[in-house]
Amino acid sequence: MPLAPELGKLPEIVGSFYRAGLIKELIDGMLRGETGRDIVSDAKRLLRELESENQVNLMGLENMPRNVGCLIVFNHPNMDTLLPAMLKLIVGINENSGQQMKLAMGSEIPMTTENYVGKRAVPGSVSLLKRFHQMYSNNIISVPNTEDRKDFVSGRTVAVRKIMRAFKENSIVVISPEGHVEDEGVISRVDTYHDGSGKLAVLATKVGISTVPVAIWEEDDKEIEVRVGQPFLISTFESNLAAIEAMSKIAQIMPEKLRGPFK
């Protein structure tokens, strides 16, 4: 069973945090049980470091609903592309509308994958990420992703409640329907999408919350593109089809060669 691609990027990501002067602060914060840390401020610091090597181009912020909640869905390239893209989006949305995002993030680091779907957690990663997510308690919603966890069902139920509360508070929630990192930046096949993401998109539509597609890709070795598409309401109540519909909207604003099953 192959290692999850995210693991190969961890040393590079840690190096970026170190150069941005964040490593000591974050370790100290986790040891102290810090909560409510300002994610926008940290995003700006880390983005300055990352953009010294890769320019991140963000377009389409005018498509973001203002003063209301929404659900952002994005594709999942490798972390060296995704991390600067998400930081740019966090900073861009905050500067554009004053809003902050709530990121629905896996509460473990996947160690292995089987046919892109089966996952196991890196030993100790659940405890580590619990402390990390707790630091950004205003901006991260932890979601268990490995089914062998005892809290898999209860943890995901709690996450859904937090997301629905966020919508009522006019917050922006961010998820990725893809169940794994893309292969060479190409959108993954439809049978690997997170069913839970589709369920959230359906729930959002039922309460009148728009879904906003965000496409992320590497244009060349030095440029990362982030495109915000037009808001839409999911047209189906079937969660698997809703996840596919969300990914199809993302594909429409990506280069044709990266659209995978949606070419």
DSSP one-letter string for 162-183: HHHHHHHTT-EEEE--BSS--B
Task: Tell me the whole-structure pTM to 2 decimals.
Answer: 0.91
Crossing angle of the two packed helices 239-252 and 195-206, in degrees rounded to 10: 90
Task: Tell me how far apart the alpha carbons of residues 119 and 125 are, in angstroms, rounded to a whole number.
Answer: 13
28 belongs to a structural domain: yes
pLDDT of residue 31: 95
139 belongs to a structural domain: yes
Q: Which of 100-114, 147-161, 217-231 has the lowest mean pLDDT?
A: 100-114
For residue 171, what are its two tokens?
């917050």
pLDDT of residue 1: 46
> Could you report the per-residue pLDDT of 13-28, keeping only the tens digit for each?
888 898 999 999 999 9
223 belongs to a structural domain: yes
Which comes out higher in pLDDT, residue 212 or 221?
Answer: 212
CATH number at residue 220: 3.40.1130.10
Q: Is pLDDT of 130 > 90?
A: yes
Q: Is pLDDT of 111 > 70?
A: no
Average pLDDT of the chain to the nearest whole number: 91
261 belongs to a structural domain: no
pLDDT of residue 253: 98
Please tell me the total count of domains within the chain.
1
Task: Tell me how far apart the alpha carbons of residues 75 and 255 are, in angstroms, rounded to a whole number.
Answer: 13
- Taking residues 39-68, report their average pLDDT: 94
263 belongs to a structural domain: no
Closest CA to 202 of 246, 251, 236: 236
Q: Which of 112-116, 230-234, 238-242 has the lowest mean pLDDT?
A: 112-116
Give Cα separations from 181 to 6, 98, 115, 230 (angstroms).
Answer: 7, 30, 12, 24
pLDDT of residue 229: 98
74 belongs to a structural domain: yes
Task: Tell me how far apart the alpha carbons of residues 15 and 143 are, in angstroms, rounded to a whole number.
Answer: 26
pLDDT of residue 75: 98
Which comes out higher in pLDDT, residue 220 or 260?
Answer: 260
Residue 237 belongs to domain spanning: 5-256
> Could you report the per-residue pLDDT of 56-85, keeping only the tens digit for each?
999 999 999 988 999 999 999 998 999 999
